[in-house]
Amino acid sequence: MRIATWNINSVRTRVQRAVDLLAKHDIDVLCLQETKVADDKFPVMDFEAAGYHVTHHGLNQWNGVAIVSKSEPEEVFTSFPGQPGFAKDPEKPQNLEARAVGARIRGVEIWSLYVPNGREITDRHYAYKLQFLYALARYAESRAQSKLLLTGDFNIAPRDEDVWDIEAFRGKTHVTEPERAAFQMLEEAGLEEVTRRFTEEQRWTYFDYKSLRFQKNEGMRIDFQLASRSLAATVQSAQVDMVERAGDKTSDHCLLLADYDLPDFDSVR
């Protein structure tokens, strides 16, 4: 079962690229983040024409997450228990954003997640980010004995070597101790990040559009696949598609893929 995650940075802008990647890599499940579109505007037909089912959760032009799969999901979730909401104005209702969508596919519970960025350490969005991660860790712990996969853009660089220059990030989000501790909570909840050991030579998953970061190989590792132990034990390989990131007008994130050897999954390769 080949599962991929990609912060697409606008699905309507890059729908054909996504469809091409499905064919290029023979992907069984593609998790997308930052689709930036409401459900009724998602280009469902493009994916269905390629032979895929679409599970999308989008409320407006912000955020948005999707799961595109060869097999039809057995169950769909548009939030996880305890997921916090957010509004810039603390006096207004803190409604849930479209940052999480889950689907049970062939017995595997797969989540496409767009973790809040945090913006600045002094911003309310930073506290929101931590609350989101804490709630996610609690949910992961409750599901640790099942086949569970949390994948997507976590907006955290868990280690110093996950950014091109740690000194350039001092005092900024993505590398603070509370964020890293929250990521560690996910691992302590019984999850394992399964792509790192296969992609040490493909270090980064994100390159800022600014300052020619891709051309300078100045990136960050902030996209991950976190699997429960029973699922992590089945991982055979992983890769980062740097070729796609080098393309013209592509997303600032790389496609991140992993292969899971599941005997009961009958996808033909």
Catalytic (active-site) positions: 114, 153, 253
Please check if 253 is assigned to a binding site.
yes
Distance of CA 130 to the CA centre of its chain: 16
Please check if 153 is assigned to a binding site.
yes
Please check if 53 is assigned to a binding site.
no
Please check if 264 is assigned to a binding site.
no
Rg, the chain, Cα only: 17
Residues in contact with 116: Cβ distance below 8 Å, sequence separation at least 6, in sequence order: 86, 99, 125, 128, 129, 132, 155
Residue 22 has φ and ψ, to the nearest 5°, of -60, -45
CA distance 33 to 241: 16
> Rounded to the nearest 5 degrees, what angle is found at the Cα of 154, between the Cα atoms of 153 and 157?
115
Please check if 155 is assigned to a binding site.
yes
**Residues forming the annotated binding site for Mg(2+)?**
7, 34, 153, 155, 252-253
Binding residues: 7, 34, 153, 155, 252-253
